[in-house]
Amino acid sequence: MNETLVELFRATGLGGITWSMAAMWAMAAALLYVGIVRRFHAILLVPLAFGALLANLPTRGGPEGDLIGFVAERLRLDLFLPLILLGVGLLTDFGPLLAAPRSFVIGAVAQIGLFATFALAATVGGFTPRESAAVGLVSGMDGPTALFVAVKLAPQLLAGVAFGVYAGQCLLPTIQPWLMRRLTTDVERRVRMKPLRTVSRLEKLAFALVMMIVGILLTPGGAPLIAMLMLGNFLRECGVGDRLLKSAYHEIVNVLAVLLGIGVGLTLTADRFLRPSTPGICLLGLLALVLSTVAGVFAAKLLNRTNPGNPFNPLIGGEGVSAMPAAACVAQRECQKADPANVILLHASGASVAGLLGTILAAGYFATTLP
Amino acid sequence: MSSMLPVSTILGAAPPAEPRLLANVSYPLHGLLLVVAALLLVSLAMVLIRKAVRRFKVAEDHTGPLLVPASAGRLPPELVAVITAAVDEVLGPGGNIVAINSVGPEASGAELAWSREGRREHFASHKVR
């Protein structure tokens, strides 16, 4: 009888539970709380938390080729990440960026944080150059791009990078306003910007092609990212293939978001996540966010000196980090606190998409030069 | 994909072999310069494309007949009635309409003003997290 019970116990997963697994359950519960109760990035955080819980139950190692194995493998093969960027391209309007080309400068300057973090991670943090690139990309707060680099260059840090990116996105609405209020005066936050011109469809189509060609020529390693982003945007702007567009816009993007969430969650196993490097990645990522925000705000102030007739609200400078659309909303909220009738949302989203492009180019640079 | 050399390689950027400060600064600096150059290049290309599109449009406009609005200089009475009713509804009785002007110098200006107001109202009605 006793032997039968022992055999039964061994056959269950109960014997495989460890303390580190229990710690990861607590983290999955925290992610579920943020996603469901706080309603923050629920579409991503809920599947991610579910995946993390699944990864830390003693039920893995089942037959190869099941759905969970399939999802994890597709993530490793870089299938979801470029496809998610196709969806991002479909959902992104580059019009505000094209209407105010100065925003390109903000997006470029904001990458200072990313590259400074690379240098810090490699010099002080004890990370290898490939790992440092993945850590630096955390600063962009752009999930697909950071994960793309992590999968390609430092898969052992995938869990830490994933956590760093999404923790950063959660903390962004707290950190950036505090920082922006200290970097700008009340008068600067009230600056009203001229309405943006309407950008023609032809310009938007040309932009998608030009950006893709320049991006791939200069950073071939980032071709899957930039190509899919611009393909999505081209589909959006060209106005043909409505059926495909509608499917991509809703079903495909949503399914991919769920699969990506589960796939990333599955990487959050206790042995990969509970490492000394994880808090280091998060801290460096936050430092990079601070540096990017500071650099962007000062770049906006500098741009104002060169063109005082058409001033830039410096709050927009902080939006060069590519966390869309949260960063643009943060700028709008801070602006409205100073002047309730002031609207800078579109201008801010222009800077934000410039930041996204800058981050993708930086990812391409690392993927190209760190074989 | 062709096997051509990327500009980053031509610039001489290479990953640092050892974790030394100088090596770790020059490599990311090359990367930053590359990103800045790429975005400025795209920005410049788009400015040129916009100018070309404008020129093309101007040339196209000159080929067609000139359009003169039917109510130029004078508002149709039904529009005045609609505006009066709207003012009365919003401000209440006793309001005087002194003048009716278009919001912008062109139709696009008016459109932008309405879009701007719509966005302001929409955003003000939501709590941003």
Residues near A338 by beta carbon (within 8 Å), at least 6 away in sequence: A186, A189, A190
Residue B32 and residue A112: Cβ atoms within 8 Å?
yes
Amino acid at A297: V
pTM above 0.80, yes or no: no
CB contact under 8 A, A111 and B32: yes
Which one of A107, A108, A122 has the shortest CB-CB distance to B19?
A122
Q: Which pLDDT does position B45 carry in this prediction?
A: 92
Contact of A98 with A196, CB cutoff 8 Å: no
Looking at chain B from residue 26 to 55, which residues have their Cβ under 8 Å from any Cβ of chain A?
27-29, 31-32, 34-43, 45-47, 49-50, 53
CB–CB contact A206 B29 (8 Å):
no
User: What is the nearest CA distance from B77 to chain A, expressed in angstroms?
Assistant: 31
pLDDT, position B109: 56
- Judge whether B22 is closer than 8 Å to chain A, CB to CB: no
Q: What is the pLDDT, as a whole number, of residue A262?
A: 82
Would you give the end-to-end CA distance of chain B in angstroms?
43
pLDDT confidence of residue A71? 67
pLDDT band for B9, please (50, 70, 90 cuts): very low
CB contact under 8 A, B25 and A119: yes
Between B92 and A122, residue with greater pLDDT: A122
Q: What is the pLDDT of residue A212?
A: 93
What is the reported pLDDT for A241? 67
* pLDDT given at position A208: 93
Measure B35 CA to nearest chain A CA, in Å.
6
User: Which of B1, B36, B128 has its CB closest to that of A332?
Assistant: B128
Write out chain B residues lying below 8 Å of A214, CB-based.
Answer: 38, 41-42, 45
User: Taking a contact as any Cβ pair under 8 Å apart, which residues of chain A between 35 and 64 contact chain B?
Assistant: 38-40
Please check whether residue A98 touches B, CB under 8 A: yes
Report the candidate in A208, A172, A171, A200 with the shortest Cα–Cα distance to residue A92. A208
Give tens-digit pLDDT for B73-91. 567 778 888 888 888 887 7
Chain B partners of A341 at a C-beta cutoff of 8 Å? Answer: 120
pLDDT digits (tens, 9 = 90+) for B12-57: 445 555 545 556 678 888 889 999 999 999 999 999 998 888 887 7
> Is B45 in contact with A195 (Cβ distance < 8 A)?
no
- Identify whether the C-beta of residue B11 lies closer than 8 Å to the C-beta of residue B34: yes
Q: Taking CB atoms and an 8 Å limit, are B34 and A365 in contact across chains?
A: yes
What span, in angstroms and rounded, lies between the C-alpha atoms of A192 and A142?
A: 29
| Residue A55 three-state SS | helix
Which of A94, A102, A104 to probe by mutation at the B interface, max B CB count within 10 Å? A104
Confidence grade of residue B105 (pLDDT, cut at 50, 70, 90): low
Task: Determine, for residues A202 and B53 on separate chains, whether the beta-carbon distance falls below 8 Å.
Answer: yes
Q: Which long-range contacts (CB under 8 A, 24 or more apart) does B16-19 make?
A: B16/A122, B16/A129, B19/A122, B19/A123, B19/A126
Task: List, in sequence order, the alpha helices (H) in chain A.
Answer: 2-11, 19-32, 42-55, 67-76, 80-91, 95-99, 103-109, 112-123, 129-137, 143-153, 158-183, 186-189, 201-218, 223-238, 242-247, 253-267, 270-273, 277-306, 326-338, 345-369
- pLDDT given for residue A74 in this prediction: 66
Indicate the pLDDT class of residue B6, thresholds 50, 70 and 90: very low
pLDDT of amino acid B20 = 53
Chain mean pLDDT for chain B: 69
Residue pLDDT tens, chain A, 371 long: 677 877 777 777 777 778 888 888 988 898 888 888 877 777 778 888 888 888 888 765 544 556 666 666 666 666 777 888 888 888 888 888 888 888 888 888 888 888 888 888 888 878 888 888 888 888 767 778 888 888 888 888 888 888 888 778 777 888 888 888 888 888 888 888 887 788 888 889 999 999 999 999 998 888 888 999 999 889 888 877 677 777 777 777 788 888 888 888 888 888 777 878 888 888 888 888 888 888 888 888 888 888 777 788 888 877 777 666 677 777 888 888 888 777 888 888 888 889 889 999 999 999 888 86
